[in-house]
Structure 1
Amino acid sequence: MLDTWIWWVSSPFEYAFMRRALAACLVLSLTAPILGVLLSLRGLSLMSEALSHAMLPGIAAAFMLAGFSVPLMMLGGVAAGLITVTLASGISLYSGLREDAAMASLFLVAMAAGVLIISLAGTALDLGHVLFGSVLAVDSATLLLVAGSCSLVLLILAVAYRALVVECLDPLFLTLQGRHAGWTNTLFMGLTVLTLVVGFQTLGALMAAGMMLLPATAVRYWSRRLEGMMLLACTLALLASLTGLLLSFHLGLPAGPAIVLLAGAGYLVSVLVGPCGGCLRRQAARRQSATVNGEHPGA
């Protein structure tokens, strides 16, 4: 039994393409969930989903001009994401519309434009590759680019960590300290866009936000400390990545959707049994309160 289990876990990684896929997922799992936790603190969890769609026109334009050139597609995605963020901020500033509402409107337009460009310039296979990713097709050059980009994001996060956390919790404090919060927000959104573009290389434009959003929302049911949430979010993402790749290899499932679905399963389990506000914990607390007050638990 033990030998079978060891074979089931280790045999896929005898192949170079599986090792590259695992390495790409691991570096992404150590970056995206941290930004997801910070996004959730800002109440902007769905912003990651909007941004992952908003970068599609830039990726599509680069694809139309140069084919599957990973550096150019990443550059196009970053440019499109930053332009969308800037437009959303401008619309919010001058019209009074909430920034997330402005972003939602823009990402729908951007996604439609990106799909149209890819459809006109390529084939259905090209469209599927961009939208849903192909982590098992990551080559050595792409892996180096992904690892380098994630390392840069982690380095900037480490340097600007205190300012980013304070800006999430109390942006007025930075202003009172003589530090305008605007640059911190701009830096944070830039890091988010870059991480989503990196995620596009493995999970595709439609699901790049899954690795960022699902672990971050799941761990809020397990910890109230920021450091604990970040550590647990990265752990959940790592487990989902490893298990998703194993299921993809042994059962012939698409790797990207398998990884995101496993992260989603972790979120659902957290909602049910998490000690910090999970459904079962809330129900137990209500029953205990009713018992203490002398009420019937079913009342």
Structure 2
Amino acid sequence: MALLSGLVTRATNLREDASFAGFYLISLSLGVLIVSTKGSNVDLLHVLFGAVLAVDNAALFTVASIASLTLVVLALIYRPLIVECFDPGFMRAVGGSGSLYHVVFLVLVVVNLVAGFQALGTLMAVGLMMLPAAASRFWAGQVWSMSAVAMGVGMVSGWVGLLVSYHRDLPSGPAIVLTAGVFYLASIVFGTQGGVIWRYLPRRHLEA
């Protein structure tokens, strides 16, 4: 999925996020279809929406290991990856293998999605990955600061979502993702980097 989305983005005018989403939905639908037609005993609701409260030690170890590996790899490829994202022409001009860093990043995204499937399911994992990142865009203007805000929103969403699900007797996965959705909607309105309120507030003009 990661390789195909990268190839389509480079061969066509389709943006990478749209390409990735398209291949993800196709593969998800195909997986559900296969499970349904083969008469498997796998609970499709568990596959799609997960069960956070049923995560065992082995799953936690897997998620922690993949997260640690991701941080190490991102630290190693951070600079060339940023250059490749903002100016791939410059990366090619200086002889850098920008495509390699791009593919490595896409593979990391897919690996983290697969790790999140065990806790949140296929649909919820995408929501928890995308909503904090989208919310951070309204609070930070640089890549490192957006990453920090996104991690903070993700952790707070998980904590608050679990508390809400416990006290209101709600499914934990949807509660977590909906909490992240609340942060996202609030960021659209109140965000200092292009939020609705800040965009339309009267600003003081420079005076000579």
Common fold by TM > 0.5: yes
CA RMSD of aligned residues (A): 2.2
Checking the alignment, whether the CA contact within 8 Å between 1:118 and 1:126 is kept in structure 2 is no
Checking the alignment, whether the CA contact within 8 Å between 1:167 and 1:185 is kept in structure 2 is yes
Which structure 2 residue ranges, 5 or more long, are not aligned?
none
* 1:167 pairs with 2:103: no
- CA distance in structure 2 between the partners assigned to 1:273 and 1:90 by the alignment: 37
Instruction: Identify the residue that residue 67 of structure 1 maps to in structure 2.
Output: none
1:214-293 alignment, distance < 5 Å: 214-285=131-202
1:78-97 alignment, distance < 5 Å: 84-91=1-8, 96=12
Instruction: Identify the residue that residue 136 of structure 1 maps to in structure 2.
Output: 53
The equivalent position to 1:121 in structure 2, one of 36, 39, 44, is 39
User: Could you report, residue by residue, the CA deviation over 1:43-91 in whole angstroms, capped at 9, with x for unpaired residues?
Assistant: xxxxxxxxxxxxxxxxxxxxxxxxxxxxxxxxxxxxxxxxx23334445
- CA distance in structure 2 between the partners assigned to 1:180 and 1:128 by the alignment: 42
- CA distance in structure 2 between the partners assigned to 1:92 and 1:168 by the alignment: 12
Rg: which structure is higher?
1
Which structure 1 residue ranges, 5 or more long, are not aligned?
1-83, 293-299
1:34-49 alignment, distance < 5 Å: none
Indicate how the Cα distance of structure 1 residues 241 and 197 shifts in structure 2: closer, same or farther if over 3 A, else same. Answer: same
Q: How many residues align?
A: 204
TM-score normalised per structure 1: 0.63
How far off is 1:98 after superposition? 2.5
- CA distance in structure 1 between the partners assigned to 2:191 and 2:111 by the alignment: 31
- CA distance in structure 2 between the partners assigned to 1:91 and 1:271 by the alignment: 30
User: Could you report, residue by residue, the CA deviation over 1:201-242 in whole angstroms, capped at 9, with x for unpaired residues?
Assistant: 111101211122111111211121222211111111111110
Instruction: Identify the residue that residue 46 of structure 1 maps to in structure 2.
Output: none
Q: Which residue identity is paired with 1:253?
A: L
TM-score normalised per structure 2: 0.88
- CA distance in structure 1 between the partners assigned to 2:172 and 2:56 by the alignment: 16
Checking the alignment, whether the CA contact within 8 Å between 2:6 and 2:103 is kept in structure 1 is no
User: Could you report, residue by residue, the CA deviation over 1:4-47 in whole angstroms, capped at 9, with x for unpaired residues?
Assistant: xxxxxxxxxxxxxxxxxxxxxxxxxxxxxxxxxxxxxxxxxxxx
- CA distance in structure 2 between the partners assigned to 1:129 and 1:273 by the alignment: 35
Instruction: Identify the residue that residue 114 of structure 2 maps to in structure 1.
Output: 197
Checking the alignment, whether the CA contact within 8 Å between 2:3 and 2:106 is kept in structure 1 is no
Q: Is the partner of 1:238 in helix, strand or coil?
A: helix
- CA distance in structure 1 between the partners assigned to 2:66 and 2:19 by the alignment: 28
Q: Is the partner of 2:157 in helix, strand or coil?
A: helix
